[in-house]
Structure 1
Amino acid sequence: MHNRPLSRLLALTAALVVTLTVLVAAGPPPTAAAAPPPRVFRDLAYAPARPAGTRGHLIDLYLPAESVSTPRPLLIVMGGSGWLADDGKGYAPALVPYFTAHGFAVAGVSTRSSRQALFPAQVDDVQAAIRWLRAHAGRYEFDPDRIAVLGDSSGGWTALMAGFTGTGVRAVVDLYAPIDFGQLDAHMLPGACASFNRAFHLDACHASTLSPESSLLGCPILTCPDRVAAANPIARLTTAAPPVLIIHGTDDGLVPLQQSELLFDALAAAGVPSTFYVVPGVGHNRDIVSPAHPPAVVRQAGPALTPAAPHPSNAVIEAFVRAALARPVAVSAH
């Protein structure tokens, strides 16, 4: 009698082993076919390497798998590094699956680091990259007149500079870019400068001689106000600027939220359509587009190009870019 439960358990175990063996042999259940991978063209040089052996002159281009006769829109992506690295094109793969699946060509663009060349070299680089892309649009099946730029942090700064310097860019997506270097320290959250100093081995926050901003300009930012002013994207803003989508977190300990507020206020004053997502509790992080965060506060200036969705997702970015690309090209009044 006492052996019956044990016998039943052994029988059930044997049956389970047989079932698992069959399932493993048969493989996983069928799923929907995966989307074909994009076509990739790596390390396209838009200019000579300067200095030799560096990477700040390269583009990675991603095209949807299917070739089409109607040119696609192009999204240029630039990752931030505090201008300390020349590999900004490395941000693009995080966005490629979504945007190529939705009919975009995507270009990851690198510019020179501050160790390789001082400002305004990075602006010269992105302008040269866009000229190269426009010249080769036919070969790579995108529309040279439907170009948007996206970047985070210093990459967002580069995207804004590209949008505000007459390159033909039709939309800008800026994730927590620095705007006015001279006001960075005044805007920092309580305790953030101490963390910033530890992270970058500095002694005076953004005003330090070796801070990312001082390194970019080649001078401590409090000693060269003219160069600080020239590096402010707002200084290049005109009424012909393309629409801008700004995304920034309230807990950003590297680039304070007030920097994006300065930009949004300037865009509104210039009459440039813009949308500003303020995401509660989020720091300096690319996952700011995740729907896991609390709902954002959304501010609009000018005509709303997208519905006020609760999260600044890739779908929101796509909708904003498409609406901006559909607008007539603005003509500068200056």
Structure 2
Amino acid sequence: MTEPYPVPVPRPTLTHANCVVSAPLGYRPLHLDLHVPPGDGPFPAVLWLHGGAWVTGSRVWTVDQRFHERMVARGYAVADVDYRLALEASYPAQQADVTAAIRWLRHHAAALRIDPARFAALGESAGGQLAAIAGLTGTGDAALQAVIVWYGPADLGAVADQHDPFTEPAILLGGPVAERAALARLASPVHNVHPAAPPFLIIHGTEDDDVPYTDAVILTEALRAHGVRCDLLPVEGAGHVFAGATVDVGTFTEAGADFLDDVLRRV
């Protein structure tokens, strides 16, 4: 028998719940939850993009159980963002969903007490790929001013079996990578780097068996080669989702807030 999911814990920082940001035809409406610090603002906003290999997960899932409390205490609004999973819709539906959330937040920035000139995304694993792509491709009202990636894949085309339709990238792309090579490049952060990209912080376990640490290295090197700031924080001995890390996961949340303090105050 499958163990029931736990009862959700209260979220004392939650300000606006279940905001509909888009309703793609034929699919469920997509929501976000917004956590805004007390005060007049406007506050910089961070979009939280969950992981789950693009086939599972929820906007309410977090790695750091005190993530919202930490970020709100540091003066950041946090938007927990929905996106369609890969068995609901193939890529680039997920990218479109993140873009819709960015645009909705920016459109309503004044009412939400957030600063439209200071938007960042923080994604973990599959959400890290989406955060990176949003930062690298977003322009105008979809632009981001900073990106934080926790152990996200950099090159979706780099799977061992290019003809396997059941790898996670193949499921996302709608078919074997060998048959979706162009789409895989469009979805791969390392192939979308350019000199005008926003600054990045990448945090990745050195012993990650799901998304190799080399993904963090190649994306860092590509960004730096284009003159883009990219801070790389290796987590020695840690696997995926920071398993085995010798410090509390909240350390990485605080490192992200430190990075945002530095780069967003310059906007």
Same fold (TM over 0.5): yes
Question: Is 1:267 aligned with 2:233?
Answer: no
Gaps of 5+ in 2: 1-10
- For residue 183 of structure 2, give the secondary structure of its aligned residue in structure 1: helix
Letter in 2 for 1:317: G
Are the aligned partners of 2:47 and 2:79 in contact in 1 as well (CA < 8 Å)?
Answer: yes
Cα shift at 1:278: 1.3
Distance 1:289 1:72 in 2: 31
Equivalent residue for 2:151?
176
85-94 or 222-231: bigger deviation:
85-94
- For residue 223 of structure 2, give the secondary structure of its aligned residue in structure 1: helix
Equivalent residue for 1:158?
130
Match of 1:60 among 5, 18, 33: 33
Distance 2:44 2:102 in 1: 13
Equivalent residue for 2:18?
43
Distance 2:144 2:77 in 1: 15
Question: Is 1:107 aligned with 2:79?
Answer: yes
Question: Is 1:82 aligned with 2:38?
Answer: no
- For residue 215 of structure 1, give the secondary structure of its aligned residue in structure 2: helix
- For residue 91 of structure 2, give the secondary structure of its aligned residue in structure 1: coil
Distance 2:245 2:119 in 1: 21
How many equivalent residue pairs? 253
Distance 2:252 2:23 in 1: 36
Equivalent residue for 2:192?
236
Question: Deviation string for 1:204-258 (max 9, x for gaps)?
Answer: 5x86311211011111113332122111112322211110000111111111111
- For residue 228 of structure 1, give the secondary structure of its aligned residue in structure 2: helix
- For residue 128 of structure 1, give the secondary structure of its aligned residue in structure 2: helix
Are the aligned partners of 2:236 and 2:245 in contact in 1 as well (CA < 8 Å)?
Answer: no
Q: Cα 1:107–1:288, aligned 2, differ >3 Å: closer, same or farther? A: farther
Equivalent residue for 1:315?
254
Question: Deviation string for 1:90-109 (max 9, x for gaps)?
Answer: 33864101011121111000
Are the aligned partners of 1:78 and 1:91 in contact in 2 as well (CA < 8 Å)?
Answer: no
Cα shift at 1:269: 0.5
Question: Is 1:252 aligned with 2:211?
Answer: no
Distance 2:35 2:215 in 1: 32
Equivalent residue for 1:136?
108
Are the aligned partners of 1:50 and 1:116 in contact in 2 as well (CA < 8 Å)?
Answer: no
- For residue 218 of structure 2, give the secondary structure of its aligned residue in structure 1: helix
85-94 or 246-255: bigger deviation:
85-94
- For residue 111 of structure 2, give the secondary structure of its aligned residue in structure 1: coil
Question: Is 1:91 aligned with 2:68?
Answer: no
Letter in 2 for 1:174: V
Distance 1:285 1:149 in 2: 17
Distance 1:286 1:43 in 2: 29
Distance 1:104 1:246 in 2: 19
Cα shift at 1:51: 4.0
Distance 2:257 2:120 in 1: 10
Q: Cα 1:170–1:214, aligned 2, differ >3 Å: closer, same or farther? A: same
Aligned-residue Cα RMSD (Å) equals 2.4
Question: Deviation string for 1:13-40 (max 9, x for gaps)?
Answer: xxxxxxxxxxxxxxxxxxxxxxx93243
Equivalent residue for 2:7?
none
Question: Deviation string for 1:312-333 (max 9, x for gaps)?
Answer: 53222111012111234xxxxx
- Considering only CA atoms, is the larger Rg found in Structure 1 or Structure 2? 1
Are the aligned partners of 1:179 and 1:232 in contact in 2 as well (CA < 8 Å)?
Answer: yes
> Structure 1 length normalisation: TM-score?
0.70
Are the aligned partners of 2:205 and 2:242 in contact in 1 as well (CA < 8 Å)?
Answer: no
Question: Deviation string for 1:150-174 (max 9, x for gaps)?
Answer: 0100000010011111222111000
Cα shift at 1:259: 1.1
Q: Which runs of 4 or more aligned residues in structure 1 lie more than 3 Å from their structure 2 counterparts after TM superposition?
A: 49-52, 286-290
Are the aligned partners of 2:204 and 2:242 in contact in 1 as well (CA < 8 Å)?
Answer: no
> Structure 2 length normalisation: TM-score?
0.87
Distance 1:119 1:236 in 2: 16
Gaps of 5+ in 1: 1-35, 186-203, 294-310, 329-334
Does 1 or 2 have the higher relative contact order (CA < 8 Å, sep 6+)? 2
